[in-house]
Amino acid sequence: MSDKGRIVIKLGGGLITKKNKIKTLNKYAINKVCESIKILIEENYKIIIVHGAGSYGHILSKEMRISEGVRQEIYEKQIKAIKQIRENMRELNDEVIDSLERVNIDSMGFPPSIWAKNTGKKFTGDIEIFNKNIGEIIPICYGDVVQRDDEKEFGILSGDDLMYRLSIEIPEVNYTIFLLGDVDGVMDQPPENLDAKLVSLWKKNDFIRTSHNSEIDVTGGMDLKLIRASEIAKKVDNVWFINGNYPERIIQLIRTGSTIGTKINP
């Protein structure tokens, strides 16, 4: 069977954890997604996995103002918190690796705190380790606390920014997929409104009132995701937001060209 290209897929923190309560895992959702990833591999796609933090990262980051960089008055507490967040993220990453192992997929986590520096889509670090071939180990990375070169000293590198560079710079990416936790894709109103409807095609400048939960989310939530996704769509043909609770929709997408979800245009 011929090589079909590469899929970069993000397991959102809201999918793989319960976002509001510290370190609560949604192992069921992770297992289910990994079963679908197995099918993608069997169909001869190369895969890169990125995952978010959810309650393994956002709650403590918010409390200790990690995304603002050094705050002298709480510096010692911040340093402690960074250690804890990085540990939590490795633990969460191990859960993803474990779920892949259950379906006989060999994967390896590459913690951004080790190889990446600076935040936003211009973060630095060699991403060549993610350029793997069919049959090689599946590389994984995730949103993490990283060092910064400026006076802020540290900050949070979001999985969405990792998605950006991996999708643009690694060759042969033909699908970039963001798996969401509780919605079918981009909604035309905050999803808690009962008459909110799924937007099946979104392009930059389409105005959407997202309910960006700044109480918990320290990296920009849905708004940042949409901006990054539309930038990726300039290069990658199929950029989609899909409900990760129904990962069979990814399979339907690659087999038929469409599914329930939001296709992002540049």
| Residue (of 49, 244, 50, 10) closest to 137 by Cα position | 49
Place of tokens 């001869």: 44
Output the CA–CA distances (angstroms, integers) from residue 228 to 43, 63, 167, 195, 197, in the order listed: 27, 26, 10, 27, 22
Closer by beta carbon to ligand IPE, 87 or else 136: 87
- Tell whether residue 58 is a contact of ligand IPE (CB under 6 A): yes
Q: Judged by CB under 6 A, which stretch of 70-78, 105-113, 215-223, 254-262 contacts ligand IPE? A: 215-223
Q: Measured from the CB of residue 88, what is the shortest distance to ligand IPE in angstroms?
A: 8
How far is the C-alpha of 111 from the C-alpha of 163, rounded, in Å? 14
**Cα–Cα distance measured from residue 70 to residue 19, given in angstroms and rounded to the nearest whole number:** 25
Is residue 96 within the footprint of ligand IPE (CB under 6 A)?
Answer: no
Q: Is there binding between residue 218 and ligand IPE (CB under 6 A)?
A: yes
* Residue 231 binding ligand IPE, by CB under 6 A: no
Concatenate the DSSP letters of all residues of 76-141 into one string: HHHHHHHHHHHHHHHHHHHHHHHHHHHTT--EEE--HHHH-BSSSTT-BS--GGG---TTSPEEEE
- If one asks whether residue 109 binds ligand IPE (CB under 6 A), the answer comes out as no
| CB nearer to ligand IPE: pick between 144 and 184 | 144
Alpha-carbon span 220 to 159, nearest angstrom: 11
Cβ proximity to ligand IPE, 125 vs 159, nearer residue: 159
The interface with ligand IPE within residues 115-144 (CB under 6 A) comprises 143-144
Assess contact for 201 and 238: CB atoms under 8 A.
Answer: no
> Closer CB to ligand IPE, residue 5 or residue 80?
80
184 binds ligand IPE (CB under 6 A): no
Applying CB under 6 A, the site for ligand IPE has a residue count of 20
CA nearest to 15, candidates 30, 37, 35, 32 = 30
Instruction: Verify binding: residue 244, ligand IPE, rule CB under 6 A.
Output: no
By the 8 A CB rule, do 46 and 6 touch?
Answer: yes
Q: Which of residues 26, 36, 61, 78 is near ligand IPE by CB under 6 A?
A: 61
| Closer Cβ to ligand IPE, 4 or 152, answer by number | 152
For residue 57, state whether it binds ligand IPE (rule: CB under 6 A). Answer: yes
Q: Compare residues 46 and 51 and give the one whose CB is closer to ligand IPE.
A: 51
Q: Does residue 155 touch ligand IPE according to CB under 6 A?
A: no
Residue ranges that bind ligand IPE, judged by CB under 6 A = 12-13, 52-54, 57-58, 61, 85, 89, 143-145, 156, 158-160, 217-219
